[in-house]
A and B are shown apart, each in its own frame.
Chain A
Amino acid sequence: MDSRSEAEFAEFMHGRWPALVRLGYGLTGDERLAEDLARAALAKAYASWPRVLRAGDPDVYLRRIILNASLGKVRRRRVRERRPGDEPEPETAQLARVDDDRPALVTALMRLPVGQRSVVLLRYWMDMTEAQVAAVLGCSVGSVRSQASRALASLRVGEDVAEEVLL
């Protein structure tokens, strides 16, 4: 990569870094993991920078890397957590703190399947259209719509269950 491209990449990275980390946090619920994901995504973008630029929309490329990577990390973490003899995961309601909405929302997000979580974040946090979300996730608009609807329903139900357990 020449010095001009290097400078271009550095500028791009400075601009996207916070949003990427936040997206990673929304996907994993873990700040450190989110930074790892964002760093890995940017490293991959660096490795194919000319191709990424040629493709036209580097943001779509980065989001796709983060979403795919988070899917892999979630799968690996789930496998580690389900090793025989390990303590079971604490109940989500016990993790949620009612006095602070932040962990409760993040915890509720973590209870959603990764696909629905991705749709929620892209659609409702990044304000992307259904078509844009479908392009990033590589699925149909109908699938985005149904996943969003299911996610909203789950978030509402999850909230009721959590309140019942805590009372």
Chain B
Amino acid sequence: MSIVDERDLRQQLDGVLDAIMPPDAPVRAAARKGKLIQAGRSLGVVAGLAVVAGIGVGIPGLLNQPAREVSHARPMVMVEQSCGTGVREIIGSPAPVAGRTGPSSAAQAARGRPASELAAGGCAWLKP
């Protein structure tokens, strides 16, 4: 094989490729396969629409779900405080306070209360 220039390459390509004698065009087979491709595409479109419809129905349903019930009872603050005698008294309720049901610390509970109230009698009962 020797390729001199573009013209030579053209001639050689013509010689090689024009020598290929393909059989008769498979029109029916191609048409059959083409119809299958069309059917596949239609199926894909239908499936896509179904997914879109599913999302259209599902997402608003999820968004419009009723909110979780929140306790409107007045929260009772849990206080743990030493009363000097070594006895620890705990009062409280399981009602959720700011989304938590655990006991609040005394410092948190006492926040905003006058110091005199806390100091009086050694023990301070923080009213709900």
Q: Indicate whether A101 reaches chain B with its CB closer than 8 angstroms.
A: yes
Q: Determine the distance from Cα of A50 to Cα of B106 in the docked complex, in whole angstroms.
A: 80
Q: Is A139's CB within 8 Å of the partner chain B?
A: no
Binding-face segment, B8-16, B75-83, B112-120: B8-16
Chain A residues with CB under 8 A of B73: none
Instruction: Name which of B32-40, B53-61, B85-93, B96-104 contacts chain A.
Output: B32-40
Contact B27 A102 (CB under 8 A): no
Does B9 contact A152, Cβ atoms closer than 8 Å?
yes
A121: B residues at CB distance < 8 A = 13
Our pick among B1, B13, B27, B41 for the contact of A104 (Cβ within 8 Å) is: B1
Interface of A is mostly: helix
**Chain B contact residues (Cβ within 8 angstroms of A): what range?**
20 to 34
If A6-B31, A14-B25, A43-B37 touch, whether A21 touches B12 (CB-CB below 8 Å) is no
What residues of chain B lie closer than 8 Å to A127, measured between beta carbons?
A: 10
Chain B residue nearest to A102 in the complex (CB) = B16
A14-B27, A31-B22, A46-B31 known; 20 other A-B pairs, CB under 8 Å?
Answer: A13-B25, A21-B20, A22-B22, A25-B17, A25-B20, A26-B17, A31-B20, A34-B20, A34-B22, A39-B33, A42-B25, A46-B34, A46-B35, A46-B37, A101-B1, A101-B16, A104-B1, A125-B10, A159-B2, A159-B3
